[in-house]
Chains A and B, each alone.
Chain A
Amino acid sequence: MDLTTLTIREAHEGLKNGDFTSVDLTKAYLKKIKDFDGELNAFLSVTEKLALEQAIRVDERIALSGVEGHDFSMLCGIPCAIKDAIMVEGEKCTAGSKILENYVAPYDATVIKKLKEQGAIILGKTNTDEFTMGSSTENSAFGVTKNPHDKTRVAGGSSGGSAAAVAANMACYTLGSDTGGSIRQPASLCGVVGLCPTYGAVSRYGLIAHASSLDQIGPFAKNIEDAKIVFDSIKGKDSMDATSAELNLESLNAKPYNLKAMRIGVPKEYFSEGVEPEVEKIIKSVIKKAEDAGAEIVGISLPSTEFALACYYVIDPSEISANLARFDGIKYGLSGPAENLLEVYLKSRGKGLGAEVKRRIMLGTYCLSSGYYDAYYKKAQEVRQLIREDFAKAFDLPAGGVDLLFCPVSPFPAFKIGEKINGPLSMYLADIYTIPTKLAGLPGLSLPVGKIGELPVGLQIIGNHFEENKILAIASELEKMLS
């Protein structure tokens, strides 16, 4: 039996029944990584020592629970991998950047603390575009991650390593982060489940900041049930992240959701000329299946969608220009040889940061500079408000709104390595369907629903704030229908 194909629940049952140990599971995954990652480059570092130590300890815990007759948590003993922008104490955390090439995380991110408390096994750190800025991992300073379905193509990004690791069974589940689409887009391109939770649902403490009004941590998994197990383990309020919120999901759990009682909105702006006909065909056929299962399908409009990409690329770089000021050659990482303090800053940042990061710092600095602030940053904040209002209206159920939105995650399947690297705007367009929800802080999920040849296509399910349970319940129903 190939242990690496098991879902979280299956692996949990196996551990419980004594079919195999956590050390067996961990070794199976480490072997998979050794055999396949040389080619795929999903991992930036493999934390073999940490993983095996954790597995040995967990096996003792599991044996004890057998003797004492109590259960152990679902994630206990299950191997996972973590995007290299999330800190795991004592391990390298590069964020895909040369400036942090030798940086060792001094503490655990809150999500890691929570996973460790559950007994999770950490196999390694996964590849990302530098500082999570990109849609293909081609901006990583440590090479591109290849798509397991076609190695001439990208795995998506920025959490491409995390998506590819799950797709190639090199981890049972992974964590990623989503600022403009960095969980949903690679999940779609690699054919795995990816959930970007509501802004505030999961603490970002210990996630290397990209754009703080947008960043969110979430899971990649083999199926919806696994994604829910991981999400439930990492969510909740944390005093170390002032934007995190207590979720009152118990009351939501009390209400069973099914397609029969759902009003599903299909926003016409997400099926415009940019989407590839084959992608549109697959998404439309899933929508038809949902309708056949009893869902009410409603055509809707989100009129401010056309401004979303421009709005995002003002706000995101503006926040980047502030957040990345901390990489100054003094507090951490790479430091260039210099004569004076100004030169330390200039040379460390000039040498340590890559082209896309520099471009966004420059754009942000420009948009926030005197004389341009009103035309760019302030205007973008106003447009962000319009986008929020579009979604608020769409989800206003008493006023005839809908429960969920169905649309594509990405206008195209995985593209060729190198295809978009020279045109920043064409790369930015890869996130055109995932960016609007981020500006409104909404949760979104990518569910694999079809393939064009070998290339997976994901359906995006968007819900109202903190309605992850509704999204997951309906996604689970669709998953069963499609299997």
Chain B
Amino acid sequence: MISKEEVEHIAKLARLELTEEEIIKMQADMSAILDYFALLQKAPKITERPAFAKGYGEARKDEILPRDAGLVEKLIKATPDKKDDYIKVKTIL
């Protein structure tokens, strides 16, 4: 069983605010799922480095492409807090 403190620590890393009730439920759910993951240790070991997405992954050139001017407007419109064409955030320093 993972501890309540561990759940709180992970939630902080994940930037999630959890209620007291959610923390208790999360502790039980995560523990059951993590216990199930122990099964993986029974799998045969492999010596070779696993191939990540083999055969794919040709990145396009990092070029600035002209896009419809309205797109900028739409992207900014989607932000919850803005002033003119700027996205507002809380003071960082």
Contacts and interface: CB of A to CB of B under 8 A. Distances in A.
Nearest to A357: B16
Contacts of A143: none
Nearest to B6: A366
A171 interface: no
A69 to B, nearest CB: 35
B50 to A, nearest CB: 4
Interface stretch (A270-278, A382-390, A469-477): A382-390
B36 interface: yes
B4 interface: no
A340 B90 contact: yes
B71 A107 contact: yes
A243 to B, nearest CB: 5
Tell me whether chain B's interface is mostly helix, strand or loop, or mixed.
Answer: loop
B67 to A, nearest CB: 9
A-side binding surface: helix, strand, loop or mixed? helix
Nearest to A106: B74
A353 interface: yes
Contacts of A103: 78
Interface in B8-67: 10-11, 13-19, 22, 25-26, 29-30, 32-34, 36-37, 39-46, 48, 50-53, 56-60
Interface stretch (A22-30, A33-41, A130-138, A324-332): A324-332
B15 to A, nearest CB: 4
B47 to A, nearest CB: 10
A330 B79 CA distance: 6
A105 to B, nearest CB: 8
Interface in A379-435: 379-386, 388, 424-425
Contact of B60 (A239, A325, A362, A369): A239
A120 interface: no
Interface residues on A, range: 35 or more
A220 to B, nearest CB: 25
B1 interface: no
Interface residues of B, number: 52
B80 A335 contact: yes
Contacts of B33: 313, 363, 424-425
B37 A365 contact: no
Contacts of A106: 71, 74-75, 77-78
A107 B26 CA distance: 36
Interface string A241-258: 011010000000000000
The 9 closest A-B pairs by CB, nearest first: A350-B17, A335-B80, A106-B74, A385-B50, A346-B17, A345-B15, A365-B14, A341-B90, A381-B50
11 contacts: A106-B74, A107-B71, A335-B80, A346-B16, A347-B17, A363-B30, A366-B30, A379-B43, A384-B50, A388-B51, A424-B33
Given A358-B22, A369-B10, 14 more contacts: A106-B77, A242-B60, A307-B39, A307-B40, A307-B43, A310-B40, A313-B36, A335-B81, A338-B90, A344-B90, A346-B16, A358-B16, A361-B16, A386-B44
Interface of B: 2, 7, 10-11, 13-19, 22, 25-26, 29-30, 32-34, 36-37, 39-46, 48, 50-53, 56-60, 71, 74-75, 77-81, 87, 89-92
Interface of A: 103-104, 106-107, 199-200, 213, 239-240, 242-243, 245, 304, 306-307, 309-311, 313-314, 321, 325, 328-335, 338-347, 349-351, 353, 355, 358-359, 361-363, 365-366, 369, 375-376, 379-386, 388, 424-425
